[in-house]
Amino acid sequence: MHAVVHHHPAHRAPPPRRCSRGHGRSSVVVRAAAATTVTSNPGAAATAPDSPSAAFWDYNLLFRSQRAESRDPVALRVTEGAIPADFPAGTYYLAGPGMFADDHGSTVHPLDGHGYLRSFRFSADGGGAATAHYSARYVETAAKREEHDDAGASSWRFTHRGPFSVLQGGTRVGNVKVMKNVANTSVLRWGGRVLCLWEGGEPYELDPRTLETIGPFDILGRIGGTTTDEAARDNDSSEAARHRRRRPWLQEAGIDVAARLLRPVLRGVFSMPAKRLLAHYKIDTKRNRLLMVACNAEDMLLPRSNFTFYEFDANFELVQTREFVVPDHLMIHDWTFTDSHYVLLGNRIRLDIPGSLLALTGTHPMIAALAVDPSRQSTPVYLLPRSPEAEAEADASGRDWSVPIEAPSQMWSMHVGNAFEERNARGGINIQLHMSGCSYQWFNFHRMFGYNWQNKKLDPSFMNIAKGREWLPRLVQVSIDLDKRGACRGCSVRRLSDQWTRPADFPAINPGFANRRNRFIYAGGASGSRRFLPYFPFDSVVKVDVADGSARSWSASGRKFVGEPVFVPTGSSEDDGYVLLVEYAVSDHRCHLVVLDARKIGERDAVVAKLEVPKHLTFPMGFHGFWADE
C-alpha cells in the first residue's frame, strides 16, 4: 500500500539518537503549535536546510498539484552527464496523482488525487544522438470530467469524497459520491495498449504516444466477466461449496446473506463494479504472459475473499482464468507468482463498526470502516495452484491450498520484487519471495501519508516517528520449503541484507529475471541523513546482492527525494542495464529524471545522466512506473 502524511511545521525536535540495532539516525518530527509559525509562501520561506519548517514544506511540496499538461512532447535538457549510446529506444511511463486541491476549499488524500500520466520517451535524432522528450496528461476518467471544468476558467470542484478523503468545501454530510476511479496507481503497456490502473475500478486506456485518453478498458467485460447477478450465483460454485465444508454451515450462510445485501448497495450507492481489478499486475517473461487479479467488491467488508486470476498472451487474448475463495478477511495490494502458484501474502483486516458509522456521516473517510487486525502473530501466505494440473497434484497429496502457510512474524505486506520456485533434492519445492513489509503497528489506514481530514496539509511526523527496528518498511526474504507431497516443512523470514537496515520499499529487479532465481534487488530507501525526515520520503536507491547480503547505495544530496526505481536492461547479465528514477528537488521546485548505471551503484560515477523537466511542468511524486521498449 502507499503510505502518506499531514500538516504542522514543527517546533524544536529532540536531538538525533542512535537506534540500538543500526537504524542510523532516528528522530521525531514534532508538530508546531500553529501553522502560522511558517510563512504562507513556502517558496520564499527563510528556513534552515534541515529544520522542522523545511521538513514540513519539503514534504508538502512533494504533493503540490500540477494543473498544467504537456500535450506536445518537450525536449529535456541534460544537466549532468549524457544519455548513454547503448540506452534503448523506449518510453518510461509514470503513474500517480496530479490534483489534490480544488478551487472551493477541499484537499484530498494523495490516493484520491486524479491520475496524471507522465512519459519520458527516448529515441535517436537524425544524427543518431539519443534524445528524450517529456509529456504529461490527466487521465480523463468520468470523475475527472465531472470535477474539472476545462472551459474558460479551468476550475476544479471536488464532488466525490474518495475512499480516503473528506471534503472541506462543498457537500460533506450526506454526500454519497464516494468512489471515484482516479486511475492513478500504476501503468502498463501490453498488447499495444497503455492502461492506467486503480485499485477499485476498471483501467483506463490511453494512446501510447499522445497520452490522450481513449476511455475505460473493460477487461472483464471483454472476456465475459461476471455481472452483479452472476456474481451472486458464483457463491454457489464448487469452489465456494468446498469452503462451506470448512466452516460452520450457519456462519457460511450468514456470510452469503451479507454478501447478497452488500452487492447492490456497493454498486448502486458507491458505484463499485461487482469485480474490481487490483492495480498490481505481473508479467511472466518465461511464457510471455500478463497476469492480473480481481476480487469481489464486498470482500473488503466480509471475512471471505474471492480472487479471480487472469492470464493474457502478448495480444491481450485470455489464456486462462482461475478462481479461488479464501476463508479470511484480507486486504491485498500486491501479490506475486511462481511457475506453479499464485502467491498472496495476506494483510489481515476487520470491519470497524464505530468507524463505519462515522464514515457514513461524511465527517470521516470511508476507509475508517476498516482497521488492521493484529490478533495473530504471523503472516498468512496462500499458495494457490496456478493450473488445474497443479491443483490436481495438491488434491492428490492432500494439501489444502485454502489453509495458508503461517510465516513466523507479523508483517504487513507492501510490495513484492520477485518470487521463484526450485525443485530440491528431496523432490519437494523451495519457494523464495523478495519483498518489502512493515509492522501492523506502523501501518495506519487513518494516517497514511499523514492525511488528516480536519486540515489541508500533510504531516510528515507519522512517517518519521522513531519506532522499533522491525516496525518500518524493510526488505525481507520469505523462504518456504515444501516436501514432495506439498506439505510445508518450514518457513522463514529474514532481512535481505544486514548491511541495509534502514527503511526501504518499491523493490524492483531486471524484468528478464522475473519468476526465476535473481541475484539483485533495487529499491527506494532512506539514507537517514536528514534529521527531521530520516525515514520518508526516500532519498536513495539501494542495490542488494541477495547472494551474499551486501548492499550498495546511491543517495540524492540536499533537499531532494526519489521515487520508485525501474530497471532498463541492455544486456544478458542481470545487472547489465540502467536504473531510472525521478529525483524531486523540492527546495528548487524541479524534477529530474536520473539515469544510474546499475553496475556502478555505490560508486562515485553511478550517475550517467540527469535530465531536467521544465520548471513550469514540475510534477508531484508518482506512484508506480513501467518501462516499455520500442
Condensed to tens digits (0 to 9), the pLDDT of residues 261-284 reads: 555 555 655 667 778 899 999 999
Q: Does 624 show up as a binding residue in the annotation?
A: yes
Predicted confidence at residue 269, as pLDDT, reads 57
Max CA distance (Å), the chain: 74
If DSSP codes are grouped into helix, strand and coil, which group holds residue 9?
coil
67 CB-contact burial (10 Å; exposed 0-12 / middle 13-18 / buried 19+)? middle
CA 429/CA 341 separation, integer angstroms? 11
User: What's the whole-number mean pLDDT along residues 487-501?
Assistant: 94
CA 542/CA 555 separation, integer angstroms? 9
pLDDT at 38 over 80: no
Mean pLDDT (the chain) is 84
* Paired residues of 342 in beta bridges: 337, 384
pLDDT at 16 over 60: no
In which band, very low, low, confident or very high, does the pLDDT at 239 lie, cut at 50, 70 and 90?
Answer: very low
- Of 470 and 240, the structure prediction assigns the larger pLDDT to 470
Residue 613 grid coordinates:
523537466
pLDDT at 14 over 90: no
Other Cβ atoms within 10 Å of 510 Cβ, number: 25
CB-based contacts of 278: which residues, under 8 Å, 6+ apart? Answer: 199, 292, 293, 294, 295, 332, 333, 335
CB 542 within 8 A of CB 498: no
User: What's the whole-number mean pLDDT along residues 35-61?
Assistant: 63
User: What's the whole-number mean pLDDT along residues 217-227?
Assistant: 72
* Paired residues of 275 in beta bridges: 296
pLDDT at 447 over 60: yes
- The percentage of the chain sitting over the pLDDT mark of 90, rounded to a whole number, equals 60
The H or E element that residue 494 is part of is: strand 488-495
460-482 pLDDT, tens digit each: 988 888 766 568 999 999 999 99
Q: Which of 235-239, 369-373, 522-526 has the lowest mean pLDDT?
A: 235-239
Predicted confidence at residue 527, as pLDDT, reads 94
pLDDT at 231 over 50: no
Predicted confidence at residue 45, as pLDDT, reads 40
User: What's the whole-number mean pLDDT along residues 309-338?
Assistant: 94
Residue 51 grid coordinates:
529544520
pLDDT at 141 over 50: yes
pLDDT at 44 over 70: no
CB 311 within 8 A of CB 236: no
User: What's the whole-number mean pLDDT along residues 475-503?
Assistant: 94
- Secondary structure, 3-state, 145-205: HHHEECCCCCEECCCCCCCCCCCCCCCCCCCCCCCCCCCCCEEEEECCEEEEECCCCCCEE
Helix, strand, coil % in the chain, rounded to nearest 5: 15, 35, 45
User: What's the whole-number mean pLDDT along residues 602-611?
Assistant: 97
- Of 283 and 241, the structure prediction assigns the larger pLDDT to 283
143-152 pLDDT, tens digit each: 999 999 876 6
Predicted confidence at residue 470, as pLDDT, reads 67
Closest CA to 164 of 442, 375, 355, 436: 355
Closest CA to 393 of 343, 428, 432, 433: 428
The H or E element that residue 396 is part of is: helix 388-397
54-110 pLDDT, tens digit each: 899 999 999 999 999 999 999 999 999 999 999 999 999 999 999 999 998 889 999
CB-based contacts of 170: which residues, under 8 Å, 6+ apart? Answer: 104, 105, 106, 157, 158, 159
In which band, very low, low, confident or very high, does the pLDDT at 2 lie, cut at 50, 70 and 90?
Answer: very low
Closest CA to 544 of 480, 472, 485, 494: 494
Residue 512 grid coordinates:
528478464
CB 159 within 8 A of CB 171: yes
Residue 404 grid coordinates:
495458508
The H or E element that residue 102 is part of is: none
Other Cβ atoms within 10 Å of 395 Cβ, number: 13
Quickly list DSSP for 254-278: HHHHHHHHHHHHHHHTS---SEEE-
526-584 pLDDT, tens digit each: 999 998 999 999 999 999 999 999 999 999 988 999 999 999 999 999 999 999 999 99
Residue 66 grid coordinates:
500540477
The H or E element that residue 235 is part of is: none
Cell 486541491, located at residue = 101
User: What's the whole-number mean pLDDT along residues 322-337?
Assistant: 93
Predicted confidence at residue 261, as pLDDT, reads 54
Q: Which of 100-109, 157-166, 398-407, 462-471 has the lowest mean pLDDT?
A: 462-471
CA 243/CA 250 separation, integer angstroms? 13
CA 185/CA 178 separation, integer angstroms? 18
- Secondary structure, 3-state, 582-622: EEEECCCCEEEEEEEEHHHCCCCCCEEEEEECCHHHCCCCC
Q: Does 333 show up as a binding residue in the annotation?
A: yes
